[in-house]
Amino acid sequence: MALDLDPEAWLKRLIHCHEQDLPELRLMDSYYEGTQPLSYLAPEIQAELNDRMRQLIINWPQLIVDALDERLDIEGFRYADSETTEDGLWDVWQANDLDEGSQQAHVDALALRRSYIIIGANEDDAEVPIVTAESALDVYAERDPRTRTVVAAIKRWEEPSADATVGPTKMASLYLPTMRCTFEQVKGQWSEVDRDEHGLGEVLVVPLANRPRLRHMDGTSELRAVVPISDAACKVASDMMVSAEYHAMPRRWATGLSRDDFADENGQPLGAMSSLAGRMWVNENEAVKFGQFPEAQLSNFHETINQLARLVAALAGLPPAFVGLATDQPPSADAIRAAEARLVKRAERRQRAFGEAWERVMRLVLLVRDGSLDPRTRRLETVWRDAATPTYAQKADAVVKLHAAGLLPTEQAWEDLGYSAVQRDRMRHMQDEALTRMTAMDLHQLSTAVPTQPEPQPGPAEPPVPTAG
């Protein structure tokens, strides 16, 4: 059962819960951006190298998230009993720039466990509610343990002050089933500055949770399993660069020399680096001996990184080529599709989970726009682009054969070929126009045709007239 709290109590509760969640969210965000701290490095080495030590980032976390996000493209919304897109919803989608916003929401959900969509009334155009994608770094929502629906949510942000000497003002919006309250922090205390009592009975915030579980409805980051392996790869790659600095080039040695022997033509002593930078060493003393140490091979680092890449590919379902494990022999088309099978299935799972959330978003859009919901909206479904990557010729050949055999309607053939909802509507309109023109031409030909006179048919032969003999 949901808690019965006043707005100020809800605000404090949600801010406390959000603060506890932020450290892990920021850590996952740093791994996606490739700004994570050094790991597996001895503090003594780090202190000795100081600012000369720079971590080499192999950003596999970003690769894992982007590989999934590239296959999550929404093409429209429709009702289960209809083949066409719901025009009003797609207009709202386009007006709010959700082609880009949905992609950003998917990336944040995959990397940070979840993202959020907030719906609100539009004062300038009541027919087009405002829909925005929000980061989990700014928004937090609490669910009812019985129904698992959102019962309260909060969004926090900072507004810059007109005075440059004064810091930004902290703001927060609290979303409840019957209202939205805006708070401002003044001298450490939150005070309500605005309230919108919409009375819709729904919290206008929808979480997009990645891989939710029964006891973890807020999702799991795609990066959790690969973070330790990514840290290990960055450590090995950084060690490789250090080894390349000190051991990859052959180092020389000499016996029987003093520092005074390393001088230029003016008698000025040479620096240590100048004396070691590959110059020829000459000395007239017969007791002097020169030599060099063999250079170190870096192949052990390469093999370690390749092994870690195999582990990442196995955990994330990535094809080997995605993590640089390419072979000299180019793979066949069937081999490429087989390697992508797990990635495609993972993308389809995300489409199912995210699709439910987007359908709820669109139902709330209709609720804000119309003030009530048609029972038909329960059958709303999200139309996704095919997550697989077959060649266009292969797909077209299969679709044409199924359509010619009568197993596939024209509308479904268009959808299987990857045409968007807008393109299908245009093709349907062009098809109707072509049919109208053909019908008009046939009627015109019938109305202007000159009737032809039928040719006379020969009558029955007359009997011969008898003559006198």
Burial class for 242, CB neighbours closer than 10 Å (0-12, 13-18, 19+): middle
- Positions of E strands within 244-288: 252-255
Report pTM: 0.77
pLDDT of residue 276: 47
- Angle at alpha carbon of residue 465, lines to 462 and 469, rounded to 5°: 155
- pLDDT at residue 75, rounded to an integer: 86
CA 383, CA 79: separation in Å to the nearest integer? 10
167: its two tokens: 């810091």
Per the DSSP assignment, residues forming a β-bridge with 132 are 118
CA dist 281 and 275 (Å) reads 8
Cα–Cα nearest to 14, from 142, 146, 118, 181: 142
What pLDDT is stored for residue 272 in this prediction? 47
- Only one residue has tokens 């091979």, namely 297
| Tens of pLDDT, residue by residue, the chain (469 residues) | 567 889 999 999 999 999 999 999 999 999 999 988 877 766 766 666 666 667 788 899 999 999 999 999 998 888 887 766 666 888 899 999 999 999 999 999 999 999 999 999 998 888 899 999 999 999 999 999 889 999 999 999 999 887 777 788 999 999 999 999 999 998 889 999 999 999 999 999 999 999 999 888 999 999 999 999 999 998 888 888 777 766 656 666 677 666 666 666 676 766 544 444 455 555 666 677 766 666 667 778 888 899 999 999 999 999 888 888 876 667 777 787 888 889 999 999 999 999 999 999 999 999 999 888 888 888 899 989 888 865 566 677 778 888 888 778 887 887 777 777 677 778 888 888 888 888 877 777 777 766 666 666 666 666 666 665 4
